[in-house]
Amino acid sequence: TLAMLVFDESEDVRSVQLYGTDPVYVGKAAEILCAEHGVAHIDLNFGCPVPKVTRKGGGGALPWRRGLLAEILESAVRAAEPYGVPVTMKTRKGIDEDHLTYLDAGRIAQETGCAAIALHGRTVAQAYSGDADWDAIGRLVEHVDIPVLGNGDIWEAADALRMVEQTGAAGVVVGRGCLGRPWLFRDLAAAFAGEQVAVLPTLGEVAAMMHRHAELLVQHMGEERGCKEFRKHVSWYLKGFRAGGELRRSLALVETLPELDRLLADLDPAEPFPVSELGAPRGRQGSPRRVVLPDGWLADQDGRSACVTEELESGSGG
């Protein structure tokens, strides 16, 4: 876990996202991050829909227990305050449409001193299916005075501008939209600055980004682990391009950087970006599902000082 706290010298704002269900442990973790690792921003994740997390009362399930949520946020804010480190939180609309929590979560975030709240416009039951409810983001903006960041269905820079205009959000949070498209952040910065968004990359330029991505992973994790980690990104980078099935399969099994470079050389560098993929969902989608919760979870909307079993999920998201 500590390996996740390695920052590059060029990173001006060192942000860390925490997952936790115990106010004491979250507070201690926040203090360690501030005192020993020099982080400049702590975000608390209450949006994860993964069953192994929600069945323990964590992630997107936790905001149902309003009192427990308040205790966790208070603990983190109190621990980070002496260091001048802002604490934010991310959440979803609620467990499902019959058990919405986002307006209460926004109020609690504001009352406990959070600097901002990010809302993914889906319920836990939706996971990543369907469309994000941007109207809910707008309602949260009207409900609180702290900044609200919108999340959900930001696939292109134009989507971010449209969300901010439609909802009044102070900014956006990007998840699946950047998979295989690291240039999305460059485009977002340009769009919000009122500048022209760069032209779409050719396959040759995408291949160069793939090499750089793998190279950085190898520097950070070693060649074996770095290449293994890179494999999951291959299909996202090549989505919509005319790379053959055999080449895709070989790239998804790559073990070394020289092997990767040999395979990338077989791509047509002049092939234009597939415009049909613009605005198309990326990454996980699936379908709505029943949310797995601890027994009796919905019977208590407070949950202060509740003993919730911790379950770490380093790969969780919201």
Any binding-site annotation on 186?
Answer: no
Residue 132 tokens read as 């994000």
- Residue 120 marked as a ligand binder: yes
CA distances from 226 to 212, 216, 260 (A): 12, 8, 12
Binding residue per annotation — 90?
yes
Residue 121 has which token pair?
A: 């416009």
Question: Is 175 annotated in some ligand binding site?
Answer: yes
CB count in 10 Å sphere of residue 72? 28
Instruction: Kindly state the DSSP code that residue 295 receives in the 8-state scheme.
Output: T
Which helix (H) or strand (E) segment holds residue 99: the answer is: strand 99-100
- Cα gap 266→261, rounded to integer Å: 9
Q: How many CB atoms lie within 10 A of CB 238?
A: 21
Strands 87-92 and 94-96: unpaired
Catalytic residue among 48, 178, 227, 307: 48
Clarify whether 48 is annotated catalytic: yes
Say whether 285 counts as a known binding-site residue: no
Give me 173's structure tokens.
């949070």
- Three-state secondary structure along 196-255? CCCCCCCHHHHHHHHHHHHHHHHHHHCHHHHHHHHHCCHHHHHCCCCCCHHHHHHHCCCC
DSSP-assigned beta bridge partners for residue 23? none
Question: Residue 293: left if φ>0, alpha if ψ -120 to 50, beta else—which one?
Answer: beta
According to DSSP, residue 307 is labeled -
Just list the catalytic residues: 48
Known binding-site residue numbers: 17, 90, 120, 175-176
Known binding-site residue numbers for FMN: 17, 90, 120, 175-176
